Amino acid sequence: MRPFDYLRANALDDAASKAGDGAQFIAGGTNLLDLMKLQVMTPETVIDINNIDGLDKIEPHEGGLKIGTLVRNADLAADPQVRRAYPVLSRALLAGASSQIRNKATTGGNLLQRTRCPYFYDPAMACNKRDPSAGCAAKGGVSRMLAILGTSAACRAAHPSDMAVAMRALDARVEILGTDGATRTVALDELYQLPGETPEIETCLEPGEIITAVILPAPQPNATQSYRKIRDRASYAFALVSVAALVEMDGETIKTASLAFGGIGARPWADAQVNAMLEGEPPSEELFGRAADVLLADAVTDEGNDFKREMTRRALVAVMREATGMAPASTGTDKVEALT
């Protein structure tokens, strides 16, 4: 690990004043410290924000919830308000990491965690995300954990967060404090940038800006919420495919649907066209299959991750069958996992 300056901020304006070129904020440090040890990230200054009051609260907000950036993943998953009104978020958090990591990891840090692409993590390998214009060693490499949607010629890395997938399905917004003291709020989807030709730019955050909270809209009391994650082992593994779903029925018809996907996208993936084609329709295997076709129309795969097409299709169908009250499909999770 390279030498760096460690500063402790006691207020938001204090943190902003300390931020500058080569600085990184740290809270739980569950991702940043690993990357610093590998010299994938080499900040000149690390600014600890754990002492800032008010950022570790979960509070009612406009009928929904406001979740401070320092709220630990374990506390968020266990919060009675979250478990009751947003169970998809609680389930995603519990699926996301070990209990030790959940005790340290924070809401803001989870949103900003870096990809687990093995080529990004290895400084000996070419990576445009780590070193712009260096090339992408993932091309022709091991692609099992890489994205199939939203990628580019410059980067094939998948976004790793479970929490962000659930928050995307919930239409969460992110509150951001600028270095000028002004606060802005963006939709979660707008926080993340697709790689394009500049994969090193992962979010819309400007230098020195800090996420202060995540805002969840008022819950849908009649919606069924589901989170399904398919991974290589039962715990502490990143998703090959995950699905977060909120589905409200009106008799025998799907009234509203909000789906988001993990493991397959360069960011937490959602497709408004998929949601729209489900709404107003009676649930059926044929409908869910057509929705999967739309979702995967632009998927780019190779031999190493082409299995994600069928795995995503089966996961979508299984989650929608559950959420709409259809009988379980004869092909269950075991056969889905066998595709890997």
Q: What is the DSSP string of 31-79?
A: THHHHHHTTS---SEEEE-TT-TTTT-EEEETTEEEEETT-BHHHHHH-
- What are 146-180's pLDDT values in tens digits? 999 999 999 999 999 999 999 999 999 999 999 88
pLDDT reported for residue 337: 41
- 46-59 pLDDT tens trace: 999 999 999 999 99
Question: What is the domain-level CATH number for residue 334?
Answer: 3.30.390.50
Backbone angles phi, psi at 202, to 5 degrees: -95, -25
Q: Is residue 117 part of a domain?
A: no
In a domain, 179, yes or no: no
pLDDT (mean) for 184-199 = 98
User: Domains in the chain: how many in total?
Assistant: 1
Q: Is residue 323 part of a domain?
A: yes
When pLDDT is cut at 50, 70 and 90, the band that residue 297 belongs to is very high
Q: Classify residue 31: in a domain, yes or no.
A: no
Task: List the beta strands (DSSP E) in the chain.
Answer: 5-8, 23-26, 45-48, 58-61, 64-68, 173-177, 183-187, 210-216, 223-230, 241-250, 253-262
Mean confidence (pLDDT) of the chain? 94
Residue 243 in any domain: the answer is: yes
Does 264 reside within a domain? yes
One-letter amino acid at 252 equals E
The pLDDT assigned to 4 comes to 95
* Model confidence, pTM: 0.94
> How do residues 78-99 score in pLDDT, each as one tens digit?
999 999 999 999 999 999 989 9
Which pLDDT value is given to residue 329? 59
Encode pLDDT of 308-325 as tens digits.
999 999 999 999 999 999
What is residue 335's predicted lDDT score, i.e. its pLDDT? 37
The span from the CA of 338 to the CA of 222, in Å, is 34
Handedness of CA 108, 110, 111, 113 (dihedral sign): positive
pLDDT band, residue 38 (cuts 50/70/90): very high
**Is the pLDDT reported for residue 333 higher than 70?**
no
| Structural tokens at position 11 | 């207020």
Residue 336: pLDDT over 90: no
Residue 302: which domain range?
223-338
- The verdict on residue 71 lying in a domain is no
Q: Percent of the chain scored above 90 by pLDDT? A: 90
Region 241-263: mean pLDDT is: 98
Residue 275 has pLDDT above 50, yes or no: yes
Residue 338, pLDDT > 60, answer no
Q: How many whole angstroms separate alpha carbon 161 and alpha carbon 338?
A: 23
Query: Does residue 116 belong to any structural domain of this protein?
Result: no
